[in-house]
Amino acid sequence: MIFTAVNFDDDKSIEEMSSFASSIIKDYYDPIIGSEQNDYMIKKFQSAESIKEQISKGYEYYFVCNKNKRIGFLAFYKRENELYLSKFYLEKTERGKGYSRLMMDFVKENAKKNNLPSVTLNVNKFNVSKYVYEKLGFSEIRKEKNYIGNGFFMDDYVYEYKL
């Protein structure tokens, strides 16, 4: 498995990330939160402009590749005394093949390199991926409901993995 970084000055890769990520998120979240909220969130968080801005603020975005094919993506950043895992997605056809564990190993290695004691993430309360995170060793530490604009909320569990 190869993790290919998306760099701030590489507008082509940023555009490709936006398109790739948006298609996976659209497919995954429309049934959970509805297309109206999902489209709003994709525009707010996965547009090329927002990805570039996130990278400028310290986010690290990566394409996840297997056999020269993009199969997923992830993004994280250092936050206070933790690594915050913002994005962790695989294409539908690639789920259930053990790739999540390899992706999480990559994330944990980055946390260790930065001497951070934990990895945290938010997961929608109705997202079945919470069970994947639990299987990977994460524990629920709290619930959050955050207003994101346009009348929409992110209603999440916050999970933590202690290194």
pLDDT for 117: 98
Over residues 81-105, mean pLDDT: 96
Q: What is the pLDDT of residue 79?
A: 92
pLDDT of residue 74: 97
pLDDT of residue 43: 94
Question: pLDDT averaged over the chain?
Answer: 96
pLDDT of residue 150: 94
User: Using an 8 Å Cβ cutoff, are 104 and 133 in contact?
Assistant: no
40 Cβ neighbours under 8 A, 6+ residues apart: 148, 149, 150, 152
Whether 159 contacts 130, CB under 8 Å: yes
> What integer is the mean pLDDT of 35-60?
96
The per-residue pLDDT for 19 is 97
pLDDT score for 141: 97
| Residue 88 pLDDT | 97
pLDDT at 151: 94
Q: Find the mean pLDDT for residues 30-48.
A: 94
Q: Which residues of 102-120 are buried (b: 16+ CB within 10 A; e: fewer)?
A: ebbeebbebbeeeebebbb
Q: Write down the pLDDT at residue 33.
A: 94
Which residues of 47-136 form beta strands (DSSP E)?
60-66, 69-79, 82-90, 118-124
Answer whether CATH 3.40.50.300 is correct for domain 2-162: no
Domain ranges of the chain: 2-162
